Structure 1
Amino acid sequence: MHRSIATVSLSGTLPQKLEAIAAAGFDGFELFEHDFIQFNGSAATLGTIARDLGLSVDLYQPFRDFEAMPELQFRRSLERAERKFDLMQAMGAPLVLCCSNTSPLAMDDPARAAAQLHALAERAAQRGLRVGFEALAWGRHTSRYGQAWDIVRRADHPSLGLILDSFHTLSLKDDPAGIADIPGEKIFFLQMADAPLMAMDVLQWARHHRSFPGQGDFDVVTFLEKTLRAGYTGPLSLEIFNDVFRETPNRRTAVDAMRSLLNLESQVRERLDHALPAEVALFSPPPLPDLSGISFIEFAVDEAAAVALGTLLQQLGFRRVGRHRSKAVVLYRQGDVHLIVNAQPDSFARERFDAHGASVCALGLRTDAPEAAAERAVAMRSQPHHSPVGPGEARVPATVAPGGNLVHFVASALGRDGLYAADFVLDDDGPGAADAGLQAIDHVALGLDIDQLDTWVLFSRAVLGLEPGESLELADPFGLIRSRGVANAERSVRLVLNVSLSQRTRTARTLRKSGGGAVHHIALRCDDIFASVAQLRANGAAFVPISGNYYDDLATRIDLDGGLIERMRESGVLFDRSPAGDYLHIYTESFENGLFFEVVQRVDGYDAYGAINAPARMASQAQS
C-alpha cells in the first residue's frame, strides 16, 4: 500500500520531519497546516523538497468549521478555501481534509451541510482537487462516520468523499462494521491511530494520548479490515497527536511509525489474504516467532565486576559450569537458568559496559525457527547484529532491541547444553554454593526512559509476538512508576516495562546511571520459596528488608493463616493473591547500577507480577 504519515506526528522543523519520514521508507505525508505556517519557505519550495525526497504531499489538513453554517460565514469560508487551494496546487497536494464543524454557529442540518460541502467540492474540482469530509469525535453535530457518510452521500459530488480516522470511531466505541458497506471509491483517505484506554474528555485524549497501531488498546486491525472490505485502495496513513512523540527524536519515531504500519498490514493480511483487490498489496513478513522460553541472560562487565557478579551469583546458588574456549566469558547455571558473564575486551559487551557499567547486555530467547525470527525482526525495521564467531563456535542470529541491547534467537532443538557445548568448556563441578532450587527465569524487568515505553510495546508485539497486559501506576516514595507487562500466550517469556513519571524515583536515578533502557531486575522462579530463601540466606545472599507493618496490614487485607503470615515475616517474603492463584516473592539487595534479583513462587494460575508489593520494596530500598 501507499504509506503516509501526518507531519504532526513527529518532532522537529518541517524539513527535519520530511527527512525522517523519507528515511523511514514512507511514500508520502499529510501536511499539517501549522507545520506549513511555521515553514520558512513557499508552497512551491515545499513541493520541491518533497519530490527531492521521493515523497508525495498526500493531504493538506485541517480545514475547519465549514459545513452547516449561516450564509455569511459559509461565503467567507468559501473564500478561505480558495486560498488553501492556491497553496495545495503550488505544493502538489491533491486532497484537503475538511473536519466536521465544532463552531457554536453550526446548525444541526444535514441537508445544509451537504449542500455547502457540494459547493466546496465544486470549487475544488475546478482546480483538479478533491475534498475529504471527516467526522471529529467531538464534532458539534457530526461525530460519527455514519453521519459523515450520510452527508457525503446527500452531497453527491464526485470530488467529495469520506475520510476515516480510527481514533474518532473507536474512541466513541462506534462499531466499524458498517464501514464495509460504504463504496470504496467514496472513501478518499484513511488515517490510523491507536490509543490506551483512558477515562477522560475525548478532545484531550485525542490531542495528547494517541499512539501508533500496536501501542495502544484499540482494535485497529478490525478497523482496517472493514475499510479494505469496502474496497478502499488509497493511502494508509498515520495521524498521531502525542506529547511524548513531540519530544522524541523524529528518526526513531518515524521508524516506530513504519513498524506499526507493517505490523498492522501483516495482521490484516492474515484475515483478508484471498479477499483483497489486486492493487492492494499488504506487507507479508516472516511469521511471528513461537517463543518457548528465555535461554540465557548475558551481563556486560569488566574484570573487577566479573568477580563481584560471580560472587553474587554463587550466593544465589549458581554454579560456574563453563569457561569460553577463546574469550573472557563465564557461564553460570542453576536449574534451567543460564547466566553469561562477559568481560571480553573489544566486544559488544565491553562497549555496553564502557557506556553503562555492569549491566545486562543481551537476552537469548528460545524458538523453533531462529533464522525466521531474525528475518522478521529485520522486516519490522530492527537492526540485525552479527557477533564475531570463532572456529567451531555457534552462530546465533540476533537483533538490536530498542535502547541498544541484543536479543538472540536460540534454536529450541539445541536443548540444555547444545548452545554452549561448542563455545564453552563445560564442567558441572565448577565452584558455587549450594543449589537454592531456582528453576527458571520467570520474568525480566526493564527500566525505560518515558519515550521508550511505546517503542518497547510495539517492538514486543511486532517483533517478538508478546502481548501487553494492563498498565499500572506504582507509588515510589518520590514519584510514580508506570508499569506494563508483555508476555507470550504460554507465559514462557515475560518482560515487565517500567518508566518513571518523576526524575527523583529510584528507577529514574538508575536510568541516569545506566544510560536508559536497562534491565533493572531479574525474577527467578522456584517451587518452595521458603526453602529457597533459607538456602540463599545460608549462602550469604542479602535481601531487601520489609517493614513489620507490611505483615500487620497483610493480615487485614487477605484472609491468610496466621502461621503463614509469621513464616513470611520471618523470611521477608511478600504476598499477593488474585482470583486465579497466589504469588510469593522476595527481592535481593542491589548490585551495581541498581540491578537486583527477585525470587518468586507462582501458585495455581496467578498471572501477574506482585505489583501491589512494589511500593513496599521501593520504600524499603529508599530507607536503606
Structure 2
Amino acid sequence: MDIRGIDHIEFYVGDAQQAAFYFCRAVGFGLLGQGGPETGLTGQRSLLLGQADIRMVLTSGLTAEHPASRYVQRHGDGIAVVALEVDDAAGAYAELLERGATPVTPPTTVTGAHAEVVTAEVEGFGDVVHRLVQRRGDRREFLSGGIEALPSAGEADKPLADEADKLLAEIDHLAVCVPPGQLDATVRRYREVFGFGEIFTERIEVDGQSMNSTVVQSPSQRVTLVLLEPDTSRRPGQIDAFLDRHTGAGVQHLGLRTDDIVTAVETLGSRGVRFAGTPGSYYDTLEDRVGPVDAPLDRLRDLGVLVDRDHGGQLLQIFTESMHVRRTLFLELIERRGARTFGSGNIKALYEAKERELAAAAAGSQGVAG
C-alpha cells in the first residue's frame, strides 16, 4: 500500500455556500465544481474549492438524516473526511482491513468523460474517515460522486484552480485532538494499520497546563498528523476546551504551507482574516532563540508571525482565529525554511513574552501611581 499524499479534505458544514464565500473571498480559494440532487448527490449540496495543490470539498446535508447534518449537529462545522491518494484503492482497502481497520464504504468506481476514480473508506479517528482515492486519466476531473467541474475549470488550456490566489501551496499537516488516554492507541493504529512512522514526540508544559504530542507521517512524507492529548492531572487548557466544544476527537487546525508567509498574511489580513495576536516582546530575543532570521523582523512583529527551528532549519508560522461559532477548527499558515518537524519553543517563548509584557505594564502603573 502506497499512500502518496492527501488527495483532498471534506468539510461537513451547516451552509456550504456561506463557508465557500469565506474560503474564496478571504483565503483565496477558487470555486472549481459543484453538485447536489441534480447531479446525483442524494440529500446534500457540495462545492469543490482549490488553490495550487489544495483541494477542499464543502458539504451540507439537505435533510436531518444526512451524515453531514448529523456531524454538524454533534461537532459543528469541521473536517469529516481526510482523503488519501493511493495507487490501488481496492487493494489498499483490503490490506487496511487485514491490518485491523474498520470498514466504512467498500470500493466504488466513478467514470467520467476523461477519467475514472476508485474510492473506498475506512475509519480514522473520532468521526473522521479516510477516503482512499485512486485516479486514472485526466486528474483535473475531480469526480467525487456527482461533483461536476465548472466550465472554466475543465478547459484543457487552463489550470484547474485558475481563479485562486496560489498564495497557499499545499496541505502541510492536520492537528488532531484526541481524548485523554487515547494518544498511544491512536499512534499505534496509524503505525500498525496505516504504516505511518513516528517522527516527533514531546510533552509541553505551560502555566500549569500540560499536553502530550506525537507526530506521525506516511512513508511518502506527504501525509502528516500532529496528534495531541491533554493531561487531565494539570489545569485544563486549549486541548480540553476543543474536546469539550467539539464533543470528542477531531481536527483542531489545518496547516497550509506557503512559500511567502509575509505576503500571504498581509493579503489575507486585508480581506478580513483575523490572526492570533503575538506580544511585541516575543521578538525582543527572537534571534537569540532561533538564530538569524532571513526576514524583516519589523514586518514579522507587525504581522505577528512566529519563528521556530528544528535540526533542519527554521519555520515561520501563524494561526488564524477560528471562524466557527464553537471556536473549534482554525487554520495555520506555515513557511518551511529547511525545518521538517515542528519546534515547540514558540509555545514557551510566547508565554514568557506575555509574562514580561504584563510585568512591564504593572511596573509602569506603579510608577505612575507613585
* TM-score category (smaller protein): 0.7 to 0.9
CA distance in 2, matches of 1:620, 1:552: 9
Q: Is 1:567 equivalent to 2:299 in the alignment?
A: yes
Shift of 1:616: 6.1
> What's 2:128 paired with?
405
Q: Which residue of 2 aligns with 1:506?
A: 238
CA apart distance, 1:511: 0.4
Partner of 1:530: 262
1:301 aligns with 2:13: yes
Q: State how many pairs are aligned.
A: 331
Q: Give 1:24-423 correspondences, 5 Å limit.
A: 289-303=1-15, 306-314=16-24, 315-324=26-35, 325=39, 326=41, 327-344=44-61, 345=63, 346-386=65-105, 396-413=119-136, 416-420=139-143, 423=146
In structure 2, distance between residues paired with 1:408 and 1:421? 11
Shift in CA distance, 490/617, structure 1 to aligned 2, threshold 3 Å: farther
Alignment of 1:556 with 2:284, yes or no, is no
1:441-452 to 2 correspondence within 5 Å? 441-452=171-182
Q: Give the aligned residue type for 1:294.
A: I
Superposition deviation, residue 527 in structure 1: 1.2
Whether the 8 Å contact between 1:436 and 1:536 is mirrored in structure 2 is no
| Closer/same/farther in 2, CA of residues 432 and 563 from structure 1, 3 Å limit | closer
Q: For the residues of structure 1 that align with 2:351 and 2:136, how far apart are their CA atoms? A: 40
Shift of 1:432: 11
Whether the 8 Å contact between 2:10 and 2:81 is mirrored in structure 1 is yes
Cα distance in 1 for residues equivalent to 2:240 and 2:162: 34
1:479 corresponds, among 198, 202, 209, to: 209
Q: Distance in 1 between matches of 2:247 and 2:164?
A: 35
Asked if residue 542 in structure 1 is aligned to residue 274 in structure 2, the reply is yes
Question: Displacement, 1:564?
Answer: 2.6
- 2: CA distance, partners of 1:384 / 1:445: 23
Instruction: Please list the CA deviations of residues 90-145 of structure 1 after superposition, one character each: whole Å capped at 9, or x if unmatched.
Output: xxxxxxxxxxxxxxxxxxxxxxxxxxxxxxxxxxxxxxxxxxxxxxxxxxxxxxxx
CA contact (8 A) 1:452 1:517 kept: no
SS at match of 2:140: helix
In structure 2, how many angstroms separate the alpha carbons of the residues matched to 1:339 and 1:591?
Answer: 16
For residues 464 and 412 of structure 1, do their structure 2 counterparts lie closer, same or farther at Cα, with a shift above 3 Å needed?
farther
Q: Say which SS state the counterpart of residue 509 (structure 1) adopts.
A: helix
Shift of 1:342: 1.0
Change (3 A) 1:391 1:373: closer
TM-score (norm 2): 0.80
1:539 Cα shift?
2.4
| Equivalent pair of 2:310/2:342 in contact (CA under 8 Å) | no
Aligned pair in 2 of structure 1 residues 410, 562: CA closer, same or farther (>3 Å)? Answer: closer
Task: Report whether the alignment pairs 1:603 with 2:333.
Answer: no
Q: 1:290 to 1:434 in 2, by over 3 A?
A: closer
Render the CA deviation track for 1:298-326: whole Å, top value 9, x for unaligned.
111223xx344323312111122111123
Q: Distance in 2 between the 1:391 and 1:433 partners?
A: 26
Moved more, 468-477 or 536-545: 468-477
Q: In the TM superposition, what is the alpha-carbon distance from 1:529 to its structure 2 partner?
A: 1.3
In structure 2, distance between residues paired with 1:460 and 1:414? 30
Are 1:579 and 2:311 matched, yes or no? yes
Counterpart Cα distance in 2 of 1:367 and 1:449: 29
Q: Distance in 1 between matches of 2:20 and 2:206?
A: 30
The 1:558/1:532 distance shift into structure 2, 3 A limit, reads: same
The answer as to whether partners of 1:298 and 1:363 remain within 8 angstroms in 2 is yes
The structure that is helix-richer by fraction is 1
Computing the radius of gyration from Cα coordinates, the structure with the larger value is 1
Is it true that 1:518 corresponds to 2:222 in the alignment? no
| Structure 2: distance between partners of 1:561 and 1:391 | 49
Higher strand share: 2
SS at match of 1:418: coil
Distance 1:507 1:437 in 2: 29
Could you say if the C-alpha distance between residues 619 and 423 of structure 1 is closer, same or farther in structure 2, counting changes exceeding 3 Å? farther
The residue matched to 1:450 in structure 2 has which SS? coil
CA contact (8 A) 1:319 1:333 kept: yes
1:7-40 Cα offsets, whole Å, 9 max, x none, are xxxxxxxxxxxxxxxxxxxxxxxxxxxxxxxxxx
Whether 2:175 is the aligned partner of 1:465: answer no
- 8 A Cα contact 2:87 2:134, kept in partner: yes
Measured after TM superposition, the shift of residue 599 of structure 1 is 0.8
Are the equivalent residues in 1 in contact too, given 2:282–2:349 (CA < 8 A)?
yes
Letter in structure 1 aligned against 2:330: F
Out of 489, 501, 515, which is 2:219 matched to?
489
Letter in 2 for 1:500: P
The CA deviation at 1:485 is 0.4
The 8 Å contact of residues 318 and 432 in structure 1, kept in 2 or not, is answered as no
The alpha-carbon distance between structure 1 residues 551 and 416, as it changes in their structure 2 partners (threshold 3 A), is farther
Aligned Cα RMSD in Å? Answer: 3.0
Distance 2:100 2:295 in 1: 54
| Structure 1 partner of 2:320 | 588
Q: What corresponds to 1:238 in structure 2?
A: none
Question: What amino acid sits opposite 1:310 in the alignment?
Answer: A
C-alpha distance 619-506 of structure 1, shift in aligned 2 (>3 A): farther
The 1:620–1:550 alpha-carbon spacing in structure 2 relative to 1, beyond 3 Å, is closer
2-structure distance, mates of 1:552, 1:367: 46
Q: Secondary structure at the match of 1:451?
A: coil
Q: Give CA deviations for 1:36-83 in whole Å, capped at 9, x if unaligned.
A: xxxxxxxxxxxxxxxxxxxxxxxxxxxxxxxxxxxxxxxxxxxxxxxx
Does the Cα contact within 8 Å between 1:433 and 1:539 map onto a contact in 2? no
8 Å contact kept, 2:281–2:353: no
Give the structure-1-normalised TM-score: 0.49
| Closer, same or farther: CA 395–491 of 1 in aligned 2, 3 Å | closer
The residue number in structure 2 matching 1:135 is none
Distance 1:540 1:428 in 2: 29
Q: Distance in 2 between matches of 1:477 and 1:349?
A: 38
The amino acid across from 1:321 in the alignment is L
Q: State the distance in 2 between where 1:479 and 1:507 align.
A: 10
